[in-house]
Chain A
Amino acid sequence: MTEARLFLLQRASAMVLAPLVLVHLGLILYAVRDGLSAAEIIARTQGSLGWAAFYGLFVLAAAVHAPIGLRAVLREWTGWRGLGLDIAVLILGGVLLVLGLRAVWAVVA
């Protein structure tokens, strides 16, 4: 994959993430202000296709966005290049995806 494609993917995932992060932060403020307990939150999210889709997309976009950004930072700051770095950030993306989707599953299933 060329640098330009990675650039495109990172910008596209950032455009997806921007509104999701804002809603996510607003949601945290809302939940804390109203003093919702964990059980009350779970009760609202369980079985909700909407929240599953929202956070599923969030996790997917983050798993694309973060490894590309980290790869660029590492290339520039450490000089680490090549296949080793690409594999390392792919693993990071995979870990983010698995952990994130597992968390989404835990609150909506």
Chain B
Amino acid sequence: MDETPAKDTANDTGHLRVAIWRGGAEGAYWAYDVPQRANQTVLDVVTWVQRHLEPTLAYRFACRVGVCGSCAMTVNGRPRWTCRTHVANVAEGGKLTLGPLANLPVVRDLVTDMVPFFDKWQAAGGRFQGKRTRDDTVAVLKPPALDTDEPANQCINCGVCNAACGVLRRRADYLGPAALNRAWELVGDPRHADRQGLLQATMADGGCHACHSHGSCTEHCPVGLRPSASIAGLKRWTLAGLLRGYAI
């Protein structure tokens, strides 16, 4: 590793002062000086720090193009995909502050433990259960295949919405926008068998009714989904179920 990399005169446009969270639940922001370049993403900055200054820096990424959903972090206070966030759009006075996603346990540095995130998916009834066996024909779905009015199935599980959620910050037992968005996707999926399970999971304590409808999830979703609309859909759907007399 080169501690003092040669200056790229064609692309270097200055210096960034970058503060990066080091440690687990307890830790501190460490400051780094990083060359600013044209068309530089926040993920580029993190990678540069790890390769040139801090080989032990832990962070998570895979695709680098906004498909895998693994590189989400807190950038200057907002949860974002770092791979699709240009430094030029978010650096305030040449400063970047990078931390792990909020509302999840920190493993180390910029890496969060996603297990509680996916546990919530299960708790919300997010596991698909088909009605057919391998001997049946494949279900034919004509567009629009989903009855729901939002493209909830485009979620890539990056965790940005949960990190942005003010209710999750207050109560860890809230299912959160990602899991509830998944539940709403299944509500609209005619192939899903366990609708009663979905109903009970989403209207239990900590379910869709705990949402305050602030819309922070929708505001921050990098895919442009509307989890708050999904949750509103669940509220309508569960109340309709309640009024129809389901035993709940």
List residues of A whose CB falls within 8 A of some B CB.
Answer: 2-8, 11, 75-77, 79
A75 to B238, CA, bound (A): 22
Q: Is the CB of B170 within 8 A of A4?
A: no
> Could you say which residues of chain A place their CB within 8 Å of the CB of B205?
2-3
> Could you say which residues of chain B place their CB within 8 Å of the CB of A76?
167, 170-171, 210
Q: Is the CB of B242 within 8 A of A8?
A: yes
Given A8-B239, A8-B242, A2 contacting B170 (CB threshold 8 A)? no
Q: Is the CB of B171 within 8 A of A4?
A: no
A97 to B167, CA, bound (A): 31
Secondary structure at chain A's binding surface: helix, strand, loop or mixed? helix
> Could you say which residues of chain B place their CB within 8 Å of the CB of A4?
203, 207, 209, 238-239, 242, 248
Q: Is the CB of B242 within 8 A of A5?
A: yes
> Could you say which residues of chain B place their CB within 8 Å of the CB of A5?
242
Secondary structure at chain B's binding surface: helix, strand, loop or mixed? helix
Using A3-B210, A11-B239 as known contacts, list a sample of 10 further A-B pairs with CB atoms less than 8 Å apart, ordered by residue number in A: A2-B203, A3-B205, A4-B203, A4-B238, A4-B239, A5-B242, A6-B209, A8-B242, A76-B210, A79-B171
Q: Pull 9 A–B residue pairs with CB atoms less than 8 Å apart, ordered by A.
A: A3-B203, A3-B204, A3-B209, A4-B209, A5-B242, A8-B242, A75-B171, A76-B167, A77-B170
Q: How many residues of B contact A (CB 8 A)?
A: 15
> Could you say which residues of chain A place their CB within 8 Å of the CB of B238?
4
- Nearest 6 Cβ contacts at the A-B interface: A4-B203, A7-B209, A3-B205, A76-B170, A3-B209, A4-B242
Can you name the residue of chain B whose Cβ is closest to the Cβ of A5? B242
**A34, chain B: closest CB distance, angstroms:** 40
Can you name the residue of chain A whose Cβ is closest to the Cβ of B246? A4
A6 to B203, CA, bound (A): 11
> Could you say which residues of chain A place their CB within 8 Å of the CB of B203?
2-4
A47 to B73, CA, bound (A): 66
Can you name the residue of chain B whose Cβ is closest to the Cβ of A75? B171
A7 to B243, CA, bound (A): 12
> Could you say which residues of chain A place their CB within 8 Å of the CB of B170?
76-77
**A77, chain B: closest CB distance, angstroms:** 7
Within 8 A of A (CB), among B146-170: 167, 170
> Could you say which residues of chain A place their CB within 8 Å of the CB of B209?
3-4, 6-7
